[in-house]
A and B are shown apart, each in its own frame.
Chain A
């Protein structure tokens, strides 16, 4: 009898180019190439931006990099989930409840647990790294593009070499960003130095972009006296106040409500900056995800929640993590503007983050970005992912869907990069890394005095006593202690 699900299929047909592809983990996702963030609008007719200015559709259609279209990204997409009342001829009267007026209907219908089609994913480069025609994107200057590409290569090499160092027993632990290079580098490139970063743990690329040197990375991994963390933390738990990169903390998702708190503080201070906090697909199951997003929306805080949906949380596949259409659909549940982006497309990530930053700061609101990608590496050096996933799946993503190669094609095709530069860069980075590791390995470990500092703002008397006793004991019984404890 009743047509429970009333979807306006016109809207769907007009605005989605159905292109069945291998898709991201979790199933096929329609790639929306044509209208990017505009997919809710009419195609073909006169087009205006959010200020009502008419835009020449011809100019808009030229898809070369010369055609710069600044994002008019503030138009929220118009969802086609008009399940309740769009085509109905029910009463237009509304009812008052706490929370506002809501119209009522005498027809009982449940909102479907999922939309007929998944939220499309925004991309600008195709799988081969060619710019898609008719796309919206934020133009990138040559210096920025070259820096982005070199950083992606550096990150890749750094990951390989540190991973090997762990395997050789030279460091105790490591965690790679393999497959997610575009996410950390491109998102960092779209931000300013004043934007505050609260990472999860798979975003060292952001720190790399901001100028953390290979030596500084190595020093932290070796926990030597040059480490800014004074040897207090496991490898990869980088932190740098001067780079506005908060020290990585192991418990998952705790950074999300913290990000809302920091964003609230920025808001109170009226700063022209936002907070960017990263989380994985698995982390969104934590209670803190709910609290962080909900609060940020209520407090109208300028924070970008960037979810790296790479399909795996150690061995837990996304199909076992949630039943929703990924993370992007959760944004609306909190009243947060959201977008799904191809995380392996550096230009798309760059454009989306640029637009999100503008909205977050100018409109003082949180934004949710879900970047679809694939975790090529194991979760960490403590994991062997071939135990729970197919080797050929890993190889496919590593070879055919590699974000570094894809961006390389684009930079090379424009003529901003060459084979020669590639070889030079790779050799040079490799050499620098090996040197950095050698230096880090030889550098002394932190002195004994650093065992007791920073517990409190000022060392309390009991710790001063303990330090004194410890020094006396080590001096009196040097044979009982390793030789590298500098008293």
Chain B
């Protein structure tokens, strides 16, 4: 598609122009800034306008304008047949959405948070993800499941879990996680247009953050490819992979590291399944060191998969053990001080990068 080709070209020219010291996340020449919320809202609006089969469903998406206001104004614009306020039954409305997708409509199902998707996970995995395979191609499921994922602030254990690793382990699903507004627009549009079921993991704390976007990103035909990671910041000493909110932390860590002479390459995964192993491995072959960052629980997490992939494909390029930064292996506590200790912080990433670069005492192996 023309938009994607232009995107790649722009990306490449920026790699040359972008100075090593980059304080601002100014990747584009245009000055327009939009919040992630606006990015998601405009993506939904444009896709609904372009394809009458696209419709939204979820709790509070209509009259209330969306629990997090992502679907603001859409009920008014498209009417109650395209924006459905559902009763409180995740299992129910997910099943209904899957049924509509079986028939050929393109539902975008919102979970108030992905924690509640566990009540519907049978429909997501058994009815959506596996259907095309089990029916031998007779039943395709062009559905998108979206909503906030991972930790917010002070919401406790049942509202803070990250589901990236769970969904990304399942064949038949595609799992995306945007970081900034450009990601939000491009990936959501790609998800809606994709004929396979897509789990779209947003982040509540990022909804209100503004990011600069180019005119191309604002164009209604803009779309990002699924399965391609983005190198947010180039570097030569250590590779840091992250997705969603942790990309912002990784970028801050990279700035701090630069002051100490360590140039980190930050990769924004964008797509958890399919994972862009080639970009990750190419980067590790360049830097020889890898830190993976995620908010979710450490065991069987996204970082574990990335580490395995690098060990399988680029073992002889590694100069240091791969380190995983993840959330603490506990249900998320509520008290603010404890919550801060349970989620990775910028300093954790900095220290890990320095360890990888032999600039501090290595950690003893943990149990």
Q: B274 contacts the other chain (Cβ, under 8 Å)? A: yes
With contact pairs A287-B91, A291-B92 given, residues A266 and B172 touching in the complex (Cβ less than 8 Å): no
Minimum distance in angstroms from B190 CB to a CB of chain A: 13
Q: Is the CB of A247 within 8 A of B131?
A: yes
Judge whether B138 is part of the interface by a CB distance below 8 angstroms. yes
Q: A239-B138, A241-B138, A290-B92 are contacts. A258–B87 as well, Cβ < 8 Å?
A: no
Contact B139 A258 (CB under 8 A): no
Q: At the interface, yes or no: A457 with Cβ under 8 Å from chain B?
A: yes
A251 B122 Cβ-Cβ under 8 A: yes
Q: How far is the CA of A240 from the CA of B135 in the complex (A)?
A: 8
From known contacts A288-B91, A456-B132, infer whether A261 and B96 are also in contact, taking CB-CB under 8 Å.
yes
Q: In the complex the two chains form, is A247's CB within 8 Å of B139's CB?
A: yes
B138 touches A264 (CB 8 A): no
- Cβ of A333 to closest chain B Cβ, rounded Å: 14
Q: Scoring A residues 256 to 271 as 1 if CB is less than 8 Å from chain B, else 0, what string do you get?
A: 1111111011101000
Establish whether residues A462 and B95, one from each chain, have CB atoms under 8 Å apart when the complex forms: no
Query: How many chain A residues have a CB neighbour from B under 8 Å?
Result: 46
Say whether, besides A228-B138, A249-B134, A454-B133, A261 and B102 are in contact (CB < 8 Å): yes
* Contacting residues of chain A (91-145) with chain B, CB-CB under 8 angstroms: none
Within the complex, what minimum Cβ distance (angstroms) separates B137 from chain A? 4
- Determine the interface band of chain B, counting residues with CB < 8 A from chain A: 35 or more
Residues 88-127 (chain B) with a chain A CB within 8 angstroms:
89, 91-105, 107, 122-123, 126-127
Residue of B nearest to A296 (CB): B96
In the complex, A375 Cα to B98 Cα: how many Å?
Answer: 31
Given contacts A249-B126, A258-B127, A287-B91, contact A453 B274 (CB under 8 A): no
Which residue of A is nearest B92, CB measured?
A291
**Distance of A237 Cα from B171 Cα, bound (Å):** 20
Instruction: Out of B95, B133, B194, name the residue touching A292 (CB < 8 Å).
Output: B95
Residues of B within 8 A of A260 (CB): 95-96, 99
Answer yes or no: B154 CB below 8 A from chain A CBs. Answer: no
With an 8 A cutoff between CB atoms, is B333 at the interface? no
- Cβ of A478 within 8 Å of any chain B Cβ, yes or no, is no
Would you call A295 and B98 a contact (CB within 8 A)?
no
Chain B residue nearest to A268 in the complex (CB): B81
**Residues in A neighbouring B133, C-beta threshold 8 A:** 232, 454-455
Asked if A229 and B136 make an inter-chain contact with CB atoms under 8 angstroms apart, the answer reads yes
Q: Give the contacting residue for A254; candidates B127, B138, B139, B174; CB below 8 A.
A: B127
* Residue B140 interfacial (CB < 8 Å): yes
Q: Is A74 in the interface zone, CB < 8 Å from B?
A: no
A237: nearest chain-B partner, CB-CB:
B134
Return B251 CB to nearest CB of chain A, in Å: 28
CA distance A450 to B133 in the complex (A): 10
Q: How far is the CA of A121 from the CA of B95 in the complex (A)?
A: 31
Q: Is A298 an interface residue (CB 8 A)?
A: yes
In the bound complex, residues from chain B placing their C-beta under 8 Å from that of A291 are 87, 89, 91-93, 95-96
CB of A265 within 8 A of CB of B274, answer: no
Within 8 A of A (CB), among B50-97: 81, 86-87, 89, 91-97
Say yes or no: B227 contacts A460, CB within 8 Å. yes
Contacts of A288 in B (CB 8 A): 91-92, 95
Binding site for A on B (CB under 8 A): 81, 86-87, 89, 91-105, 107, 122-123, 126-127, 131-140, 171-172, 174, 194-196, 227, 274, 277
Extra A-B contacts (16), CB below 8 Å, given A228-B136, A237-B134: A196-B103, A228-B138, A229-B136, A233-B134, A247-B131, A256-B95, A257-B94, A257-B99, A264-B100, A265-B105, A287-B92, A288-B95, A292-B95, A450-B136, A455-B132, A455-B172
